[in-house]
Structure 1
Amino acid sequence: MRRPRRLEKGSTVVEPFDTVDLIHAKRDRHRLDTAQIDWLIDAYTRGYVADEQMSALAMAILLNGMDAAEIRDLTLAMVASGERLDFSGLAKPTSDKHSTGGVGDKITLPLAPLVAVFGVAVPQLSGRGLGHTGGTLDKLESIPGWRAQLTPAEFHAQLADVGAVVCAASADLAPADRKLYALRDATGTVEAIPLIASSIMSKKIAEGTASLVLDVKFGSGAFMKDYDRARELAETMVRLGGDAGVATRALLTDMNVPLGLAIGNANEVRESVEVLAGGGPADVVELTVALAREMLALAGQPDADPAAALADGRAMDVWRRMIAAQGGDPDAALPTPRESHTVVAEADGVLAEQDALAFGVAAWRLGAGRARKEDPVVHAAGIDLHAKPGDSVTAGAPLFTLHADDPARFARALESLNGAYAIAPAGTRIPERPLVAARIL
């Protein structure tokens, strides 16, 4: 592991750099070298660099950027701040996927077992939702008995036996990122591409996977609203993966409209099971298969047919084993809401708009998400969509249904949906937007 040197003079430890000098350097648009960045991240992790000093540096990075070498050094320094998993003893290739998050994005659930069908191990360390984007662990915890926390021995054993694991990351994995992420969230510096890229890639590199496919979303419901900035982020992360010896590629995918028909937790699990059973919404199937093809190609199987493995039930078999291995009952009933409220079309026509961000915020207000990391989620809360843009609708037909345990939540959810959908006259042609806009290799 990379460690910056500190000099010891008697009982005194002399730090090799001064934090204020580094702040001045980034403030004045100078670059930091490898030794400076290594020391900075190590010193911040052990508490020598104060939060207010790192806040100033993060803001300077947001405003002035970093070059490719600085971003690489920052990423590797965060990897070196903790443990790095090793799958060299596993008799299977490894491949993983990371999504930058969106509304209705449940792709990990069918994707992990689908890729495992082909003998490729998927070590998926996932997180929880915050704000309008859902978290994979929250969704899976809708399944009775399923647990997110695994010991290292359990993690490796399940990966070897089942081939797919979706669980929480250890606190020892890139702890510098964990600390810096919380600070960025509180200081308005989340949007800095060098900090986003190093945050995501430090965790994935430390995870130890041999290959990685990134689902970088753009649009209303995405973290990156602008296509060009999303592409810049994707290109930066692909380069970081290659520099660290992880074969990496990315898909740029559209998140202007919710993915699938379910937004929430339990209802997204139901939709994922429909996909594993050979059905489900076309866009969820399309993206699941597209990402699976990329993962399998990087793992040495460019001719594999993941669509067939969805259709014939092989992926469902792995799903059931994956859930059971973590204490879940794949046959158990999922949580259902106490209250529902359906919104209907006011006229005949064609659904023309369905804003992803507004629907994500509505689901959050219903209880499907959290405002603070320590908040619980209501697993049964969320939204079921009954139509997607381009679908014909008739007056009085349901457009979407809100679910909550507390009916008092409906009013605020409906406020967020004011102007979020629109019906055009019958016969209006709604332009199709490709779900996958680009591949970054």
Structure 2
Amino acid sequence: MSFSAVEVIAAKRDCRTLSRAQIDWVVDAYTRGEVADEQMAALAMAILLNGMEPGEIAHWTQAMIDSGEVLDFGDVGRPLVDKHSTGGVGDKITLPLAPLVAACGAAVPQLSGRGLGHTGGTLDKLEAVPGWRASLTTDEITAQLREVGAVVCATTPTLAPADKRLYALRDVTGTVESVPLIASSIMSKKLAEGTGGLVLDVKVGSGAFMKTLPRAGELADAMTAIGAAHGLPTTALLTDMSRPLGRCVGNALEVAESVEVLRGGGPADLVSLTVALATEMLALAGLPDADPAAVLASGAAYDVWERMIAAQGGDPSAPLPVAAHVETVVAERSGIFAGADALAVGTAAWKLGAGRARKEDPVQAGAGVRLLVDPGDEVRPGTPLAELHTDDDARLPTARRLLAGAALMITTDPPPERDLVLDVRRGS
């Protein structure tokens, strides 16, 4: 059945529900170039303004999946389970999480992306490891899942190509914030990966895309509903991103901190969230009796990490890149360190060279921000609060300004305890 782009745009403009046939046609026609960018931009804006019913979102997601291939890893000897984060600051969780879940008996096919703006990308972090490569064939992914149990790599070029086109268009047309389009973008790629269960880490707070709990809950509900509609067991954890995770923000800095966690140490918040997500993943994988906290403390996950890195050409024992310039930010007054604003720290790391403004921009492996104090620590004038790392010292003044004032919060009272997991939503 054929439609016209104007007909579909007008239907959504007038708050009508798009039929499955309309959705199939417009997504396929856009992927083939029959529907122009300006027409899809108008439809995306209509969706942003008028929303979509759950059935529409499920059909839209399926059409995105149908635009490309669906991966089939076959029997790798373990239950498959995956995780996706909506993006945050210092959110290096995938690095310790994938080896940990593999060490507990599941297989993790983690197809990841690169950073844009103040949120970091998993592939950028891992490319700080000498020799590591992001691009793998489906056969290589399957073999690594069978032999190691964990893969972190780039998505294949044929996975949901409609989403790739629409994602780029949304970025330049003011339609990024549409919950139906965000949910279908994330879930179309995850469903096309062929995993058996999915845990979503939906970030909430200043450093997250969703700033408030109600908006994050709306996105979590939309994604878990898509999972349920497609028969994929899906759980969403809504987690705090008002402060960075751990102490380090930046590619090589975050790899080093992840290795600390895998060796049984690391910041408490990073360890806590890694274990919480692992617990949910293992439950979906049918391994509820596994003890990820004990496995992490034992060092078994670090062994998987070394094998995972080596399998993709990396040298886990090689020194990580170090920035050419390091500057220390110090406290200007006495008090109690209450924490760092996630958006300010993430933006500072980006401006230092750890992130990119456009997808084609290069990143510096050694750039970023390292916090030197923990919330609750007492500080005095001159106490080191943070380090700024960059290969280009001309970037330092901008980062320094971003971290001035309230970004590194010093108060008279101890900060309240941080609740990392704010809510849990499960597909039904």
Structure index of larger Rg:
1
Secondary structure, counterpart of 1:350 in structure 2: strand
Residues 412-421 or 219-228, more deviating: 412-421
- 1:286 aligned onto 2:267: no
Secondary structure, counterpart of 1:225 in structure 2: coil
Within the candidate set 163, 167, 173, 1:181 is matched to 167
Find the counterpart in structure 2 of residue 333 from structure 1: 319
Q: Hey, what's the Cα distance between the residues in 2 that align with 1:390 and 1:281? A: 14
Which digits, 9 at most, give the CA deviation of each residue in 1:272-297, with x for residues without a partner? 00000000000000000000000000
TM-score, length-scaled by structure 1: 0.95
Q: 1:142 to 1:113 in 2, by over 3 A?
A: same
Which stretches in structure 1 are left out of the alignment for 5+ residues? 6-15
Find the counterpart in structure 2 of residue 436 from structure 1: 421
Q: Hey, what's the Cα distance between the residues in 1 that align with 2:374 and 2:25? A: 51
1:353 Cα deviation after fit: 4.2
Residues 394-403 or 209-218, more deviating: 394-403
Aligned pairs, how many? 425
Find the counterpart in structure 2 of residue 197 from structure 1: 183
Find the counterpart in structure 1 of residue 408 from structure 2: 421
The residue correspondences of 1:77-116 to structure 2 (distance < 5 A) are 77-116=63-102
Q: Hey, what's the Cα distance between the residues in 2 that align with 1:31 and 1:202? A: 20
1:45 Cα deviation after fit: 0.4
1:388 Cα deviation after fit: 3.0
Secondary structure, counterpart of 2:74 in structure 1: coil
Find the counterpart in structure 2 of residue 272 from structure 1: 258
Q: Hey, what's the Cα distance between the residues in 2 that align with 1:353 and 1:258? A: 9
Within the candidate set 322, 343, 346, 2:332 is matched to 346
Tell me which amino acid in the other structure corresponds to 2:246: G
- 1:224 aligned onto 2:213: no
Q: Hey, what's the Cα distance between the residues in 1 that align with 2:275 and 2:151? A: 19
Within the candidate set 67, 76, 84, 2:53 is matched to 67
- 1:320 aligned onto 2:302: no
The residue correspondences of 1:29-44 to structure 2 (distance < 5 A) are 29-44=15-30
Q: Hey, what's the Cα distance between the residues in 1 that align with 2:299 and 2:69? A: 37
Over the aligned positions, Cα root-mean-square deviation in angstroms equals 0.9
Within the candidate set 171, 180, 186, 2:157 is matched to 171
The question of whether the paired residues in 2 share the 8 Å contact of 1:354 and 1:388 is answered with no
Within the candidate set 55, 58, 62, 1:76 is matched to 62
Tell me which amino acid in the other structure corresponds to 1:329: D
1:421 Cα deviation after fit: 2.0
The question of whether the paired residues in 2 share the 8 Å contact of 1:351 and 1:387 is answered with yes
Tell me which amino acid in the other structure corresponds to 1:305: D
Which digits, 9 at most, give the CA deviation of each residue in 1:47-104, with x for residues without a partner? 1010000000000000110110110110010011100011333221100000000000
Identity of aligned pairs, percent?
66
The question of whether the paired residues in 2 share the 8 Å contact of 1:148 and 1:326 is answered with yes
Which digits, 9 at most, give the CA deviation of each residue in 1:270-324, with x for residues without a partner? 0000000000000000000000000000001112100111111100000000000
Find the counterpart in structure 2 of residue 22 from structure 1: 8
The question of whether the paired residues in 1 share the 8 Å contact of 2:206 and 2:343 is answered with yes
- 1:250 aligned onto 2:232: no
